[in-house]
Amino acid sequence: MSDPTTPGELTVKPPVTPRSLVPVFEALESGLDIDQLLRGISFREAGLDSLDIFNLVLAVESAAGLKIPDEDLGELRDLPALASYLDRRLS
Amino acid sequence: MVPLRPQPAAFVPDAAIALVARFKGSRTYVHSTDLLAALESEACRRLGSGAWVSHLTIRRQVGHAVDAWFGPREDAFGSFRAKGQSGELGGWLVESSRPITRRVPYDEDALLGHVQFEGDTARLPEAVDGFTRHEQMVTLWKALATRQVPGPWTVAQIDLDRPLPALGPLDVHYPRTIDGRLKLGVLSQNGLVLGRCRAFWLTRTSPEA
């Protein structure tokens, strides 16, 4: 599944850290404060709505080459949790 | 948070234009296809004929006249980009305080009568007279989403790789659904991908939920 609005040229490989995911967020051009996300503020608190999170999931799936099941979405509340999840899935 | 950053190549600071001030059919919100038509017209005026809207995001429904701003606006409900021979432009969509008093007829059922379903795909085999290609595209996406799961689906984001062809079939399918209420849709013609959409199951009035 390719999508020109997601950073298809980016790749995410283990070890996945919050900082290693910064290019994915920057490519989304959402205007987010990346430093806040690195400090662990939740995506919702940072101002992401459902559309942002949808685009984030698609971007991460494209960059990591995996599909995130619906039942796992709940644990992806912030950048550290997302990095930890991806590291676990990719390792 | 300012919505998806347009990053226009032909940036016009602190300028705004009145964009859409009408309702379609019985709707009480501004329809995405009217935004697309108005933005495409403006893009052609600024970038030359053949320009098209390459990106449109709508984060909530609006019931007042819409203005396009070419500088960042914190109160924007959406954003857009357009491409043309002479460059690109982008901006933000802002709901004004001006009421909408104009209503235009829109018989979507007549368009839906032309839609064919086959497997996980919806298709218009030919262009349908009396409807714009944007109307045909959005109707296809909503028709397929509703057929798969009946409910209040809305198209919140559209990305087009190229201008919509005036003639020929249009096909849509949804290769990815997330959490049962977010769908990634793909638009194509004879196997050539034309663009994509994000469709939402409306729980309130916007994907903000």
Complex-level ipTM: 0.81
Evaluate whether B59 touches B3 at the Cβ level (below 8 Å).
yes
Q: How far is A16 from chain B (nearest CA, A)?
A: 23
Q: Which residue intervals of chain B bear CATH 3.10.129.10?
A: 108-201
Q: Determine the topology of domain B108-201 in CATH.
A: Thiol Ester Dehydrase; Chain A (3.10.129)
Q: What is the pTM of this model?
A: 0.88
Answer whether residue B11 shows pLDDT above 50.
no
Please report, rounded to a whole number, the percentage of residues in chain B having pLDDT higher than 70: 90
CA angle A20, A23, A24 (to 5 degrees): 100
Please tell me the predicted confidence (pLDDT) of residue B6. Answer: 55
pLDDT at residue number A4: 38
∠B77-B43-B9 over CA atoms, to 5°? 80
Q: Which of B5, B159, B198 sits opposite A51 (nearest CB)?
A: B198
CB of A17 within 8 Å of a chain B CB? The answer is no
Note whether A17 and A66 are within 8 A (CB).
Answer: no
Looking at beta carbons, which residues of chain A come within 8 Å of B206? 49
* For chain A, domain boundaries: 19-90
Give me the pLDDT at residue A41, please: 95
Residues of A in contact with B159 (CB under 8 A): 3-5
Residue A65, chain B, CB below 8 Å: the answer is no
Q: What is the pLDDT of residue B206?
A: 52
* A19-90: CATH class: mainly alpha
Judge whether residue B109 has pLDDT over 50: yes
DSSP string, A7-33: -TT----SSP-TGGGHHHHHHHT----
